[in-house]
Amino acid sequence: MEFSSFTLGESEVGWDISFPFPKKQRKIITNAFERVKPSRPPTNLDELLSIELKLEGFFSEYYGDDEVKIWLPEHRQSVDLYNPKERIAIEIEKTEKKRIVHDLLKLYNGGLTFVPKIRYGVLIFPKVYVSAAGNEFPFGRSAVINDLNFYFRGLFSRGELRDILCIEYSP
């Protein structure tokens, strides 16, 4: 699988980031991502990353861990993977571009809880979305950057979310 990564403060996005994504955690996550070999379409990406990141302190929705339900008891929403010690949440998008905004809202809102539970987010998305019928639709980096800039640039400085690591992949 091929992939590339960037954060909000890196040149192509260029946001003013005071607390960049931690280098050690970025390496752990990108190394885990490099080791997984998802199916095409990547229906098992959640499972594979859950296995790879479990020993690094990440809990997962795939395994049904309660730790990923960070808005309980008020809301039953969850993130795909979550490391409470590092306060890193991971959202994996496999289905369609319009869901990216929902994923970003979850990451942002995780920093707005009474005790902020998310300080750093990870957004994983495909370069090309492959439907269950095998049809391919462009997704990609530029669309995600456009959504980040339009929906979140103004909000970003008002919350606890410090940086987002974005990983684009093509299986």
Q: The CATH number of the domain where 158 resides is what?
A: 3.40.91.20
User: d(Cα 133, Cα 156) in Å, to the nearest integer?
Assistant: 37
| pTM of structure | 0.91
Cα distances from 167 to residues 46, 92, 118, 122, in angstroms, run: 14, 9, 18, 8
For the segment 65-100, what is each residue's pLDDT rounded down to a tens digit? 999 999 888 888 899 999 999 999 999 987 666 678
For the stretch 3-52, pLDDT in tens is: 899 999 887 888 889 899 999 999 999 999 999 987 776 778 999 999 99
pLDDT on residue 2: 84
Total count of domains within the chain: 1
pLDDT at res. 165? 96
What three-state secondary structure class fits 113?
coil
Rounded distance between C-alpha atoms, residue 127 and residue 3, angstroms: 9
Residue 118 vs residue 113, higher pLDDT: 118
Q: Which of 160, 134, 145, 107 is nearest to 39 (CA)?
A: 134
Domain residues for the domain of 106 are 2-170
Q: What is the C-alpha to C-alpha distance for residues 169 and 171, in angstroms, rounded to an integer?
A: 6
Cα end-to-end distance, the chain, whole Å: 4
What is the C-alpha R_g of the chain? 15
